Each structure stands twice: as C-alpha cells, then as structure tokens.
Structure 1
Amino acid sequence: MTTTKVWFITGASRGFGLEIVKAVLEDGDKVVATVRSNAGELADLLEQYSNLFVTKLDVTNEAQAKVAADQAVNRFGRIDVLVNNAGFGLLSAVEEATGEEVKRVFETNVFGTLNVTRAILPVMRAQQSGHVINISSVGGLSGFYGWGVYGSTKFAVEGLTEAMAQELAPLGIHASVVEPGFFRTNFLDTSSLTRTSNVIDDYADTVGAMRSFATQVNKKQPGDPAKLAQAFIRLANAEQPPVHLPLGNDTLSRYIEKTTKFQEEIEAWYDVITGTDHDDVVQ
C-alpha cells in the first residue's frame, strides 16, 4: 500500500528546490514549496497540480517559519518530509570575507536551517514519524580553497544532522544530510553565489584560480539535477535511510581523497595521538 507523503521544501523557486518539487509532484506526493519572494516557475506548476501549495518564507525569519509550518498542516494535515534546501554560496578566501558577509551566509545556511527545522519538528514529533533531509555540499565533507566560509556552514549542517539522527530515531523520525557535488544548476550564477569585492592578490594561485574555474565550469558541471531529484525520492521512501548521502562521482572522489589523507596522518602521528591520556588510564 502506497501512502501519499507531504513534503515541505524550502528555496523551491529554482535550482535543486525546483527540481525536487517537480519530481515529487510527478511522483504523486503533496508539496508545500516555500519561496523568499518570486514564485518563478512554481506559478506554472500551480496551474497543473492541485497537490502543490506555495507560500513565502525567508528562512532567516523564525516567526515566518512557524507560520509556514502552520499553513502546511492546515492545508495538508501533516508534514512527512522536510527538505532544507534554501541557501547560497560565498566564494572567497577566509581572510577576504567581511564579518557581514560571513554573518549573512551563516544566517541563511545554518540559522535558517535551524529556524525551519524547529518549526517543523513539533509536527513530526506529534505524528511520531517524518524525515528531515538537509542539503549540505561536497564542501561540507572536505574543505577547499575559496570555499572555506561557505563550507564551514555546510560542516555545521553535517554536525547538526548527525546529532539529530540520534536524537530523533527513538521518536520514529529520520534525519539525513545530502552532499551534492557540482551539479548543473544556477548555483554558480550571481543569483546564488556571492563573490567578495575584497580580493587579496596573495591568494591568486588558490582562490583566484577557483574564481576562474567557477566561471569556466558554470553550466558545464557534471551532475544532473533531475537525477538528483530522483535520488531524493528514493531517499524519502527508504525504510532505513542513510544519515549521509553523497551525490556525484566528484563528491565521492573528494571524500575518499580526504579520508585517505586523514588515515595517513593518523598513522604518521599515532604515537602523539595516543600518548595524551593520563598515565593511570588503562589502554
């Protein structure tokens, strides 16, 4: 017996959010799609699907998040899948980013995710069921020059999700974090990616090279957003979903490279790592 799910998807007017909305509607589930301002292509979908509800939400506004959650329940009666997708990138050396730029990206990518999650979890706890899916990034698994600040927001999302997976499991609720690599969306456009105006020449060989790469690879990324959307449907329908789901061969390669290097460092520094306990601690 197939049960229709109700999805709550933030940042749904474009990019991953829009692709996931389309796939979920096609699959027959119901969707609450949130947008910060313009509904964009969702306006056309509203004419086609009665199982779509669109509402405005700035995820940095905690009160708005609670209102949107109430609207979702009033419209469809429950919330089964939360997709925290809203966010944006910052391409910058760590030193180049201003305090205001750092604060802004954390407000959306981290505190916005927390605002929406806190608004939705009471609904899921009452149901004793649900699935929180947070979108991270390959940059949340492994730091890389030019993406230090942005990646740190996604590292935060990784840690939050891992803890939530443990906290929510006894309540019948799953938590997963998805780490996409480079997918062919508008992420590298100016609409989703901020570049600092402060440029320090000493970083030309690293961050400067990344700025050039981001321009050149835009719209040529290897990942297919439509296939990513199908992966989300499979994830939401899994009886035992993973806590981590890296998507894309580039993400997998980057993670393997990191863990291999990490293991080499552990072996090289093993005596130091294991030699810091008190002498009376039994090994």
Structure 2
Amino acid sequence: MSKVWFITGTSSGIGKELAQQVLAAGYQVALGARNTNDVADILAAYPETALTVTLDVTKEDEIVSSVNAITSKFGRIDVLVNNAGIGYFGSIEESEESEVRRMFEINFFGLAKLTNQVLPVMRAQRSGHILNVTSILGLVSYPAVGFYSATKFAVDGYTESLSKEVAPLGIKVTAIAPSSFRTDWAGRSANEAPNTIEDYKATAEANKNNIRNGSGKQAGDPVRAAQAIIKVVESENPPLRLLLGEASYKGANNKLTTLKADYDAWAETSVGADFPKEQA
C-alpha cells in the first residue's frame, strides 16, 4: 500500500521540494498551502496521487477541512510533516509582542492543533509517522533569534513528549532540525523588529545582518534535505531527532560539550539540592 503523506508549508523551500520528491517516489501526497495556486504545478503533474488543500495552520476550520478532505480522498494519513513556519529577527528587548505571538501561533500552536486533528486517524490505524520541522535554533540559540528559538525549543520539547505518548500506539515521531538551507526563510519569509537599540548593534543586529546577507548562499541543499527526510520515513528505526546540515551537526555537538561542562562543574551543588538520603 502506498503511504499517504500530508505536508504543510509546501508553497516553497524544503516543503515544496519534499512534496515533489515524495510524489516522484510513488507515494500519495496532500500538499497544504495558504495559497494552493503556489502548488498548482505539482497537482497538474500528479493529478491522481496529489491533493492540494488550503491550509493556514492558525485557522481551525481549515485544519479540520484539510484532514477531512485527505481522509475522504485517500482513506488514511500515514505521514504528517509539520513544515509550515515563519521567522522573526530582533533582540529580545526590541521584538514586538504582536509579531512574537503571531510566530508562536504558526510555529507552535498551529503545529499542535494540526497534529491533534491527525492523531485520531493515526491512532485508529495503529500506525503513522509525525515529523516536526524544528531547527538547530531549537537546540542552540543566538542573538537576534531568541523568540524564534523559543518557538522551536517548544516544538522540540513537545515532540519528545509526544513520541513517548504515542510509541505504544504504533506511531513514530521525529524532530527535523535543519541549519541554514537555501530557501526564503532568511529573506521574505522572516520579519524583523522595526526599531533597533544601539546597545545591541554588536550582537543582535550583527547576527541578523549576517543571516540576511547569507540568504541565497546557504550551505544547505533543499533537494538533499528532502532525500534525507524520505530516508527517515522509510527507516524501520527512525531517530527522535535528525540534524540536517553540517552546521546543525556541529552546533548540536558543541552544545552537548557546553552542557556537560556546566553540569559537571556544578554537579555537587545540583545533587546537594536534594534531601540527604537518610532523610528521603
């Protein structure tokens, strides 16, 4: 039986590339996009195995109607790829609360709501695979992306908990953590704080400019990223977390080293916060 994939954020970038490769591999795919005209070319190329659904993950009615449309056409959902998301640049102090809340609604709450709508389908099947596209910035953070990182740290923690809840039900869960890939994320897909504070020029503003200036020249290849995601889904034992890109791999391992150094240096203080064992 050909697996049915549901991929969000397919208008561009890794999401669109993934949808095309999954269809080329012979799977059936539902493409979620806020504007389905952006993926009309894919539907035209695969009219029998592709379905486009209008989906803004902040709109509950579109979440419900999308899942209903997919199960009506294909009868099941085997793979959910939560890829929709936006970015935002600014120091913590400079960032606008309205924009931060909007980003959380898309990157975290929208992802969670869609997952909740798909889970009953997968539970009934006693099978499925949920892949949440987070970021290396969900494991390691830097100046100018603090609130973006907060959304992705939230997704990472959510994913880990979810994996333990649904494993006995035959459902697999993976967090995909890319570094910088050659997509529009650092360009038109990310807003930024309109006002800057001079004191953050050397930290937040400098890093924001580095990211912006690198747009279109990132080391990450969306084609290879899509191939890696397909490999994970086809694996008998997929990882809980998949790092994508050399910068992601190095960043995560540097974080491990830093964490261990801190934990070991303060081990006595940490352990000493418990009641003495004879009083436990």
Structure 1 stretches (4+) deviating beyond 2 angstroms?
280-283
Partner of 1:60: 58
Q: Out of 41, 50, 59, which is 1:44 matched to?
A: 41
CA distance, structure 2, for counterparts of residue 282 and residue 23 of structure 1: 60
SS for the counterpart of 2:131 is strand
Partner of 1:84: 82
Partner of 1:225: 222
Which letter does structure 2 place at the counterpart of 1:239?
E
Partner of 1:243: 240
Partner of 2:276: 279
Contact 1:80 1:131 survives alignment (8 Å): yes
SS for the counterpart of 2:53 is strand
Q: Out of 115, 118, 121, which is 1:120 matched to?
A: 118
Structure 1 residue 281 displacement after superposition: 5.4
Mapping of residues 114-263 of structure 1, within 5 Å: 114-190=112-188, 192-263=189-260
Which letter does structure 1 place at the counterpart of 2:233?
A
Contact 1:31 1:52 survives alignment (8 Å): yes
Query: Greater shift after overlay, 209-218 or 121-130?
Result: 209-218
CA distance, structure 1, for counterparts of residue 125 and residue 277 of structure 2: 49
Partner of 2:9: 11
Mapping of residues 66-77 of structure 1, within 5 Å: 66-77=64-75
SS for the counterpart of 1:204 is helix
CA distance, structure 2, for counterparts of residue 270 and residue 167 of structure 1: 30
Inter-CA distance 273–71: structure 2 relative to 1 (3 Å threshold): same
Partner of 2:22: 24
Which letter does structure 2 place at the counterpart of 1:145?
P
CA distance, structure 2, for counterparts of residue 246 and residue 7 of structure 1: 21
Contact 2:89 2:145 survives alignment (8 Å): yes
Contact 1:61 1:115 survives alignment (8 Å): no
SS for the counterpart of 2:37 is coil
Inter-CA distance 38–198: structure 2 relative to 1 (3 Å threshold): farther
Structure 1 residue 98 displacement after superposition: 1.5
Contact 1:91 1:146 survives alignment (8 Å): yes
Partner of 1:97: 95
Structure 1 residue 63 displacement after superposition: 2.4
CA distance, structure 2, for counterparts of residue 115 and residue 83 of structure 1: 13
Contact 1:83 1:134 survives alignment (8 Å): yes
Structure 1 residue 39 displacement after superposition: 2.7
CA distance, structure 2, for counterparts of residue 70 and residue 268 of structure 1: 53
Structure 1 residue 109 displacement after superposition: 0.3
SS for the counterpart of 1:39 is helix
Structure 1 residue 215 displacement after superposition: 2.3
Structure 1 residue 214 displacement after superposition: 1.5
Give ranges in structure 2 of 5+ residues lacking alignment. none
CA distance, structure 2, for counterparts of residue 133 and residue 177 of structure 1: 6
CA distance, structure 2, for counterparts of residue 267 and residue 162 of structure 1: 24
CA distance, structure 2, for counterparts of residue 153 and residue 189 of structure 1: 19
Give ranges in structure 1 of 5+ residues lacking alignment. none
Structure 1 residue 189 displacement after superposition: 1.2
Contact 1:5 1:80 survives alignment (8 Å): yes
Taking only aligned residues, the RMSD between alpha carbons, in angstroms, comes to 1.2
CA distance, structure 2, for counterparts of residue 281 and residue 30 of structure 1: 60
Q: Percent identity?
A: 40
Q: Could you tell me the TM-score, scaled by structure 2's length? A: 0.97
